[in-house]
Amino acid sequence: MNALKEWATVVKALESGDQTVILRKGGILEVASGFLVESKKFLLFPTFEHQTYDNLKPQFHKYLDIAMGQKPKEGQNKITSYAEVLSESDVLSDDKINQLSQFHIWSDPYIATRRNWMPDKPMKAVFLKVYKVPEFEIPLKPEYQGCKSWIDINANLSSGESVLSQTELDLRLAKFKEIVN
């Protein structure tokens, strides 16, 4: 099953329901193509690089503390959730990017930095339905390293518990679509 590499802090926010949208342009190894949604359903693979309080809205600093306090042992990673793409859109407008702030935990300066990297490429806004699963550990392999978004993990999940009710998810998804369309 594919896995999306994402900050452990963001994975915690996704799992809590405080974040439902990821904004991506792609990793350094994806400069030519930009970020592409390679799977409509994927594991969330927590990463621990590049996370700082400055990159987060102050009310969500707790997720960085939690993530760093639950860091897996050396050579391992912990999978605790998977996501399903409910909607995606390429967004070029700064106004629309700003309106999407309600759906994520990143600070405005961090989003501006990400937006200014390859400014001619749109930001991919992806609305996710996130499912919690019983935690399992996987060994870190060399092919998981590097600035790339997607990796293939030899694990499959068929069920989990949605972190948001269907009603709440539908409300947020409708608002997301209203902004990006």
Residue 149 has pLDDT above 70, yes or no: yes
Q: Determine the average pLDDT of the residues in 160-179.
A: 97
Residue 20 has pLDDT above 80, yes or no: yes
Structure-model confidence comparison of residues 1 and 172, the more confident one: 172
Which range (11-25, 61-75, 143-157) has the least confidence? 143-157
pTM over 0.85: yes
Q: Determine the average pLDDT of the residues in 128-146.
A: 91
How far apart (Å, rounded) are the C-alpha atoms in residues 49 and 28? Answer: 14
Residue 181 has pLDDT above 60, yes or no: yes
Domain carrying residue 83:
2-180
Number of domains in the chain: 1
Task: Report pLDDT for 32.
Answer: 55
Summarised one tens digit per residue, pLDDT across range 28-63 is 555 555 678 889 999 999 999 889 999 999 999 999
SS3 of the chain:
CEEEEEEHHHHHHHHHCCCCEEEECCCHHHCCCCCCCCCCEEEEEEECCCCCHHHECHHHHHHHHHHHHCCCCCCEEEEEEEEEEEEEEEECCHHHHHHHHHHCCECHHHHHHHHHCCCCCCEEEEEEEEEEEEEEEEECCHHHCCCCCEEECCCCCCCCEECCCHHHHHHHHHHHHHHHC
Q: For the domain that residue 70 is a member of, what is the CATH number? A: 2.30.130.30
